[in-house]
Amino acid sequence: MRRVNKRAIVVVYKRESYKEFESLVKEAGYEIVGIVYLRRFTSRGISDYKINEIKSLMESTGAENVIFDTQLKPNYIYNIAKELGVEPKDRLEIILEIFKMHSPSKEADLQIKLASLQIELARAKERVKLAKLGEQPALVLGPGEYEVDVYYNEVKRRIQNIKAKLEEERKKRELHREYRRKRGFRTISIAGYTSSGKTTLFNALTGLNRRTGPEPFTTISTKFSIIKIGVWDIYLVDTIGFITDLPPFMINAFYSTLEEITYSDLVLLVVDVSEPYDYIKNKLEASYEILRKLNYNGNVVIVGNKIDVINNIEYLKPIESLFNSYSNYYIFISALKGINLDGLLEIIEDILGRGRYIKVRVSYSNPNWYNILDYLKRNSDREFSLSFENDSIIVEGLFNDRAIEYIKKNRIEVLEGLPHAEDMDIEAES
Ligand code: GDP
Ligand code: MG
């Protein structure tokens, strides 16, 4: 199989936002092998001079991708493609590629598809317009002259179909989440801007705490993992980077790739503290706005990442008070160097709740004994232990509140750590 060529020439038009664009391009998996600066677009796209500059860079580097840091008009795409022999990509297409890579669900897949079809629709419209002017281009971007109208309607029909399927998918996701909660999982999402260090933190936490034993979810991608923190089984999610400046038709796709955040028990909001203070401030504000739009009302731990590159501790003071004005929970770490990860785990345990020591007896005569043990294990810490007697199993360990509730509800015999069941009833009534 031919390896996909991911070498890219980027064409920079908006210099002030190049840094963000660069991380997006890398996030989408491209290797930037050349940069061309563009001052202006011409009425047809870009000047012959710039076309030649791009062409010769493509030849000398072997790049097969040309990526513009801005949104290209459909007729520009056509004109530039004709000159270069490859179709240029623009910022929106790169973002869509990233969405696809991070898509957490069928629903998000569909939202993303919907957004791509909307881009195609805009191009189809443009081709219809050109056809009417008698300028219909040859087959560069898809269907030919006579098919343009058919294609346009086909795309429209597909968009309708997708919209109908979305509701169905939403219901399925709901069930899946419900199942996870019933099994005692807590969901923690790692959120923040591109390049802040989310994936590095995800890998560090996963490496430290990977839960052993059979996994209940078979289709877990690299964006999810199951780890153990204190008494909790955690479903850890590495979310897509926050992106500002999206056109309206892409907002739904963006939010649906972040949907997991809405249903999280905790969000770790990663912030790159090596950036200038004003960047940090603006991004934090925008991040909270995104969380608000996602209807997330749970706890947020602001994780100031990359402290390994800060050599003056005084520098962190204003950043600390900024964090403090947003959340009671914040910490400075280095995900890369593993600095302060223990501190982060402590905060997470503080928020989710630490365990309480309990010893119970589960009788084999209970037809449910296996499920009970399984549930108790999931909701206890690593010290969980079993000892076997003739007719029952003695279970002890540190347990979380869910386990305690479960023990009460299922009237499991408590040997130590909780009042006896009869007393608990009285407690509940008084
Ligand atoms: P994401 O886009 O938020 O997932 O960010 P990544 O985890 O991919 O990290 C982006 C870049 O920042 C990579 O080059 C990482 O090596 C680097 N990085 C992540 N964490 C740290 C850190 O704690 N210190 C330093 N110096 N670099 C880091
Ligand atoms: Mg990442």
Say yes or no to pLDDT of 215 above 80. Answer: no
Say yes or no to pLDDT of 5 above 60. Answer: yes
Q: Which of 195, 223, 236, 331 to mutate to test the pocket of ligand 1 (most atoms within 8 A of CB)?
A: 195
Give the pLDDT band (50/70/90) at residue 150: confident
CA atoms in the 13 A half-sphere facing the CB of 64 = 4
Measured in Å, residue 41 CA sits from the centre of ligand 2 at 33
Give the pLDDT band (50/70/90) at residue 286: very high
Ligand 1 nearest-atom number relative to CA 238: 4
Pairwise CA distance, residues 370 & 373, whole Å: 5
Count the Cβ atoms, other than its own, within 10 Å of residue 416.
9
Measured in Å, residue 15 CA sits from the centre of ligand 1 at 22
Cβ 349 vs Cβ 356: under 8 Å: no
Residue spans of alpha helices (H) in 308-409:
316-326, 341-352, 369-378, 401-409
Q: What are the pocket residues of ligand 1 if the criterion is a CB atom closer than 6 Å to any ligand atom?
A: 27, 192, 194-200, 241, 305-306, 308-309, 334-337
Say yes or no to pLDDT of 385 above 70. Answer: yes
Looking at ligand 1, which residue's alpha carbon is closest to its atom 11? Answer: 195
Say yes or no to pLDDT of 179 above 80. Answer: no
Measured in Å, residue 413 CA sits from the centre of ligand 1 at 49
Count the Cβ atoms, other than its own, within 10 Å of residue 126.
19
Say yes or no to pLDDT of 303 above 70. Answer: yes
Residue 145 DSSP class: G
* pLDDT higher at 337 or 162: 337
> How do residues 256-278 score in pLDDT, each as one tens digit?
888 889 889 999 999 999 999 99
Percent share of the chain, pLDDT over 70: 88
Q: What is the mean pLDDT of the chain?
A: 85
Measured in Å, residue 186 CA sits from the centre of ligand 1 at 25
Measured in Å, residue 196 CA sits from the centre of ligand 2 at 8
Rounded mean pLDDT of 228-241?
Answer: 89
pTM of the entire structure?
0.78
Pairwise CA distance, residues 228 & 360, whole Å: 22
> How do residues 89-111 score in pLDDT, each as one tens digit?
999 999 999 888 877 777 778 88
Q: How far is CA 331 from CA 234, 264, 423, in A?
A: 20, 20, 42
Cβ 114 vs Cβ 163: under 8 Å: yes
